[in-house]
């Protein structure tokens, strides 16, 4: 794999580079945010390992700019910040996983490999499946079991985003940005209202609810709803 490591601590960066190389991976490095952003935008990486606290441009803003530019390289955040709100901030910024320092390299390597098992960059999926739900992006049709689920366009987009991130926490902010295109909080219950309607339609025949509300954090569409 080709991995980008963005870390300003010299000893941590040296460990990342040497250990990943020993595991058979090609590693490119950067020691500050702007340099990391340039590399991430110019190169195709299988995974990026990015420190949160970087000089010049912090890790959160670096990843926000990557996502805004359409770069979907999986990102593993490294950080000393271990609070729940810190993890939520990382996910909201577009990160895919979060590892707190100090860390065991075996765990980091396992997480890197898990991120790399995602579909290759550029692969176009036309049918998404999770929790017994099938979403056809071409026909704009949703099925659960043998039933067609009639969704409005915004409900369809909401379900699509949840299914693309199945098994992961998605925050209200992520939904506002990716489903509604809002980069600010409209101070309404627009997310909650649409989520309620979507759940009602998906569960109309008393199927188990595949969507979990994580109080104060967001929602998870579980891969298996049984």
Final residue belonging to a domain, choices 116, 139, 169: 116
Residue 216 clears pLDDT 70, i.e. is over it: yes
Nearest-angstrom CA–CA distance, 180 and 178: 6
pLDDT at 43 over 70: no
User: Does 196 lie in the same domain as 139?
Assistant: yes
**Both 10 and 110 in a single domain?**
yes
In terms of domains, do 79 and 138 share one? no
Per-residue confidence (pLDDT) for residue 121, from 0 to 100: 46
Domains: count for the chain: 2
CATH number at residue 152: 1.10.10.10
Give the global pTM.
0.54
Is 150 in the same domain as 62? no
Last-in-domain residue among 89, 116, 143:
116
12 domain residue, yes or no: yes
Segments of the chain assigned E as strands:
2-6, 26-30, 47-51, 75-79, 97-100, 127-130, 133-136, 141-144, 147-149, 169-171, 211-214, 218-221
Work out whether strand 133-136 and strand 141-144 pair parallel, antiparallel, or are unpaired. antiparallel
Whether the pLDDT of residue 123 is over 70: the answer is no
- 107 plus 195 within the same structural domain: no
Q: How confident is residue 183, by pLDDT bands cut at 50, 70 and 90?
A: confident
Let me know whether 12 and 109 are in one domain. yes
- Specify which of 20-24, 173-177, 217-221 reaches the highest per-range mean pLDDT: 217-221
Least confident of 36-40, 44-48, 102-106: 102-106
Residue 110 and residue 39 share a domain: yes
* Predicted pLDDT at 142: 95
Q: 1-10, 87-96, 120-129, 156-165: lowest mean pLDDT where?
A: 120-129
57 and 137 together in one domain: no
3-class secondary-structure state, position 133: strand
CA angle 37, 113, 67 (to 5 degrees): 30
CATH number at residue 51: 3.40.50.2300
**What do you get for the CA distance between the two ends of the chain, in Å?**
35
Q: What is the pLDDT of residue 125?
A: 64
Distance between CA atoms of 186 and 193, rounded to whole angstroms? Answer: 13
What range defines the domain where residue 34 resides?
Answer: 2-116
**Average pLDDT, stretch 31-38?**
94
């Amino acid at each position: 794999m080709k991995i980008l490591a963005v870390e300003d601590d010299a000893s941590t960066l040296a460990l990342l580079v040497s250990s990943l190389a020993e595991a058979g991976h090609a590693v490119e490095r950067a020691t500050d945010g702007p340099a990391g952003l340039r590399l991430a935008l110019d190169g195709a990486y299988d995974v990026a390992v990015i420190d949160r606290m970087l000089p010049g441009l912090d890790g959160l803003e670096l990843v926000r700019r990557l996502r805004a530019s359409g770069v979907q390289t999986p990102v593993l955040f490294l950080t000393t910040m271990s609070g729940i709100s810190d993890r939520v901030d990382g996910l909201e910024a577009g990160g895919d996983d979060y590892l707190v320092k100090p860390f065991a390299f075996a765990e980091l390597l396992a997480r890197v490999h898990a991120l790399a098992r995602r579909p290759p960059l550029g692969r176009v999926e036309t049918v998404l499946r999770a929790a017994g739900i099938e979403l056809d992006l071409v026909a704009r049709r949703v099925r659960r079991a043998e039933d067609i689920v009639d969704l409005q366009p915004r409900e369809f987009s909401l379900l699509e985003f949840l299914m693309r991130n199945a098994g992961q926490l998605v925050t209200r902010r992520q939904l506002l940005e990716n489903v509604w295109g809002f980069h600010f909080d409209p101070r309404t219950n627009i997310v909650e209202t649409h989520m309620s309607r979507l759940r009602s339609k998906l569960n109309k025949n008393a199927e188990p609810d595949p969507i979990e509300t994580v109080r104060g954090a967001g929602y998870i569409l579980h891969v298996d709803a049984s």
